Structure formats: structure tokens, C-alpha cells
């Protein structure tokens, strides 16, 4: 009878260890989120910054003409944001790129830089 209890206890402990490892072993705080889009924040210029949202599909399959977006509206203005197919391909390959927004004359002539990196 003691032998059966020992085997049952060992099996239970092994199961519990596998369960705990399965729950915590797959977690990695350095792994970026894998959502279908990512919001990037620009550098600050004239005491403000902007955001732009890039879709995972735009990076995975870069359009031949690249992408053109409008940044978030801050201080009553937006900026244009353009990425070429080559830049998107570079990001897909795992290398970040810096993209400078279009100019805005509101609040003084200025642009913003966005560092775009692969998040998935």
C-alpha cells in the first residue's frame, strides 16, 4: 500500500510541475506583443509628440507604393507619415527604421521622428 501511495504522490508532483512550467515557461517579458497593429509614438518637437498606427499586414506584405498615413492630431494639427516598401521590408527583416514625418507650420515649422520596429 505504501508503494502505491508513493507512486501516486510522485505522479501528482510531476503533473503539477508540468502544469506550472506550462503556465510560466511560455511567458517571456522581453517578447513584444503580437497584435495585428502597433501604435508608435514620435519624438517630441515643439513640446508635443504624435502617434501613428501600423498594421501587421502592412509590414508582412509591404505594398509596392509603401504606406501613407496621418498621425494623431495634437495641438490642432497632424503630420503625414510615409514609409517606402523598402523600409517596411527592412522592419519585417527585424531591423528598425527611423521615419521623419511631413512638416507642419502650426506652432512653428517642425517634424517628428518615429522609430519603427517589428513587434510580432
Q: Which residues pair with 40 in a beta bridge?
A: 52
If you average pLDDT over residues 31-40, what whole number do you get? 80
Taking the CA atoms of residue 86, residue 87, residue 91 and residue 92 in that order, the dihedral angle to the nearest 10 degrees is: -30
Q: CB-based contacts of 16: which residues, under 8 Å, 6+ apart?
A: none
Q: How far is CA 38 from CA 5, 6, 32, 53, 120, in A?
A: 53, 52, 10, 6, 9
Mean pLDDT value across the chain: 82
Q: Is residue 6 very low, low, confident or very high in pLDDT (cuts 50, 70, 90)?
A: very low
Secondary structure letter of residue 45 according to DSSP: B
CA angle 44, 47, 51 (to 5 degrees): 45
Q: What DSSP string runs through 13-39?
A: HHHHHHHHHHHHTT--TTSPP--SEEE
pLDDT of 82-116, one tens digit each?
999 999 999 999 999 999 999 998 888 999 999 99
If you average pLDDT over residues 53-74, what whole number do you get? 98
Give the global pTM.
0.71
Is the CA virtual torsion 71, 74, 78, 79 positive or negative?
Answer: negative
Amino acid at each position: 500500500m505504501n508503494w502505491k501511495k508513493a507512486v501516486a504522490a510522485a505522479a501528482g508532483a510531476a503533473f503539477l510541475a508540468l502544469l506550472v512550467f506550462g503556465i510560466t515557461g511560455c511567458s517571456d517579458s522581453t517578447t513584444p506583443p503580437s497584435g495585428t497593429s502597433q501604435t508608435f509614438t514620435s519624438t517630441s518637437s515643439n513640446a508635443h509628440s504624435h502617434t501613428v498606427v501600423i498594421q501587421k499586414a502592412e509590414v508582412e506584405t509591404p505594398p509596392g507604393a509603401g504606406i501613407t498615413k496621418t498621425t494623431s492630431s495634437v495641438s490642432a494639427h497632424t503630420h503625414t507619415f510615409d514609409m517606402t516598401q523598402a523600409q517596411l521590408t527592412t522592419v519585417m527583416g527585424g531591423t528598425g527604421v527611423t521615419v521623419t514625418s511631413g512638416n507642419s507650420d502650426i506652432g512653428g515649422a517642425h517634424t517628428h521622428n518615429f522609430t519603427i520596429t517589428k513587434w510580432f
